[in-house]
Amino acid sequence: MATAGPSWQARAFGTILRLRGGKKVLASADHTRARVAQRALRPAPYAPPKSLEGRTALTVDLQGDWPLYDIGPATEEASRRVLYLHGGCYLFEILPAHWRFVAQLARRTPARVTVPIYPLAPRRHASDLVPATAGILARVVEEAGPDNVILMGDSAGGGLALATAQYLRDHHGLQPARTVLISPWLDVTTNHPDQAAIEPLDLMLARPGLAEAGRLYAGGLDPADPLVSPLHGTMQGLAPLTVLCGTHDILVTDSRALTDKARAAGVPVDYHEAAAMPHVFPFMPTPEGRTARALVSDACRVPTRTVLSPLPHPDEPWRR
């Protein structure tokens, strides 16, 4: 039976992405290095937008040079703790779209969401970032109990999340209840053979710039090192995974490979792949985005379930 394509809102959002030329930053290694140099001269702000004040309970603390923001529901008790790691190729700061997503997650779950503003490459590298993030997660798990903690990240933050879960397992003997990955970047080498065919459909990402970002993040490590590219790490003993990705995202190859490898290692995986959706589509103001955000909230509310059914959607088929 034929299925409908993306919603008109998703198609309109795709047109906006094309007009903005978002792929230009990653079109080449030179473009990526130029944007990094520009950000070094004029650092981007990272604080939550003022619009979140009053709608959420917001606090901030410092751990060394890392600001740690906590966002919770304004009027009800949080039933879960979430450690959220933002994307941005390991080079760029958290964006307002991330904060809106986090605020909605905090209210809807309800959850207390901790957002580390981690230092960026090339100033810091995976060898520093992963152990430090695992230390933060270990404290959250010890405070709230492993059954109440969800680890989450999008794009590069998804890669950092998986590497953090592996490091936490190996060095602390701990795991959260569940790890939720949104369009995760899990292999910075970007050399999967299927990515070349997907790249023309991807509205946001291009392999040359991604590879350069991965090189800068790796520092002195091999880009294929599991600290940098956790897809190459071992999956045994990890918490259940929930993974969301779209087919018009070159990183869908990472999500598919992770799902196969984790399931082969006995790790329960809820895999949700949305046809014709772009990178980090759950942030989009579209029916597909709303469906995905509801699914993420569900994963946080019931973190011990091994299977989460995709929510019904009027336009978009989902692949499990």
Q: Checking DSSP bridges between strand 241-246 and strand 178-182, what pairing results, if any?
A: parallel
Say yes or no to pLDDT of 237 above 90. yes
pLDDT reported for residue 1: 28
Nearest residue to 85 via CA among 132, 38, 29, 23: 132
Nearest residue to 72 via CA among 160, 144, 168, 164: 144
Question: Read out DSSP for 215-226?
Answer: HHHHTTS-TTST
Q: Out of 5-14, 198-207, 305-314, pick the least confident.
A: 305-314
Please tell me which residue, 256 or 307, carries the higher pLDDT value. 256
pLDDT reported for residue 232: 98
CA 127 to chain centre: 19
Which residues lie below 8 Å from residue 41, measured CB to CB, with a gap of 6+? none
Q: How far apart are alpha carbons 238 and 236 in whole angstroms?
A: 6
Q: Which two tokens stand for residue 125?
A: 């590298």
Reported as a single tens digit per residue, the pLDDT across 141-165 is 999 999 999 999 999 999 999 999 9
Q: How far apart are alpha carbons 285 and 148 in whole angstroms?
A: 29
Confidence of residue 278 (pLDDT cuts 50, 70, 90): very high
Confidence of residue 64 (pLDDT cuts 50, 70, 90): confident
Q: What is the mean pLDDT of residues 261-278?
A: 96
Confidence of residue 235 (pLDDT cuts 50, 70, 90): very high
Question: In which order are the strands placed within the sheet that holds 269-274?
Answer: 56-63, 66-73, 111-116, 80-85, 149-154, 178-182, 241-246, 269-274, 318-319
Q: What is the mean pLDDT of the chain?
A: 91
pLDDT reported for residue 303: 63
Q: What is the residue type of 142?
A: E
Reported as a single tens digit per residue, the pLDDT across 94-116 is 999 999 999 999 999 999 999 99
Q: What percent of the chain has pLDDT over 90?
A: 84
Q: What is the mean pLDDT of residues 263-270?
A: 96
Say yes or no to pLDDT of 281 above 70. yes
Reported as a single tens digit per residue, the pLDDT across 285-319 is 999 999 999 999 999 987 654 444 443 343 444 45
pLDDT reported for residue 75: 86
Q: Which two tokens stand for residue 48?
A: 């939550």
